[in-house]
Each structure stands twice: as structure tokens, then as C-alpha cells.
Amino acid sequence: MRRFGRFWWDFVVGDDWVAAAGVAAGLALTALLAAWWVLPLAVAVVLAATLVRATR
């Protein structure tokens, strides 16, 4: 069961949980503001954050 959960965690979340958490936050903020520009902005921030973490 634990291995099964681990497999799905690795499959969906991958190497960096920040990307998944950032996407969830971006979608929640988009739903809150109902504004189309929120998600592209969130993606830019999340991508930058995950790249900085990978190259530190």
C-alpha cells in the first residue's frame, strides 16, 4: 500500500513538490479572482522557483 502511494506521489508530484503546490495555489487564486492572467503569472513564478531550487 505504501509503495502504491509512493508510486502515485512520484508519478503526479515528481521531483519537486513546489511545482504541484504552486499549481494548486495558482488555480485557487484564479478561482478566487476569476481573472485569466493569474495562472500564467503563477506558472512563471513557479517555473522560476523550481529552476532556482534545481540549480542551487
Q: How far, rounded to the nearest angstrom, does the alpha carbon of residue 44 sit from its chain's CA centroid? A: 11
Considering only residues 35 to 54 of the shown chain, the ones binding other proteins according to CB under 8 A are 35-36, 38-40, 43-44, 46-48, 50-51, 54
Q: Which is nearer to other proteins, 6 or 47 (CB)?
A: 47
Instruction: Give the number of residues written for the chain.
Output: 56
Task: Give the span between the Cα atoms of 12 and 7, in whole angstroms.
Answer: 9
Residue 49 near residue 41 (C-beta atoms within 8 A)? no
| Residues of this chain that bind other proteins (CB under 8 A) | 11-16, 19-20, 23-24, 26-28, 30-31, 33-36, 38-40, 43-44, 46-48, 50-51, 54-55
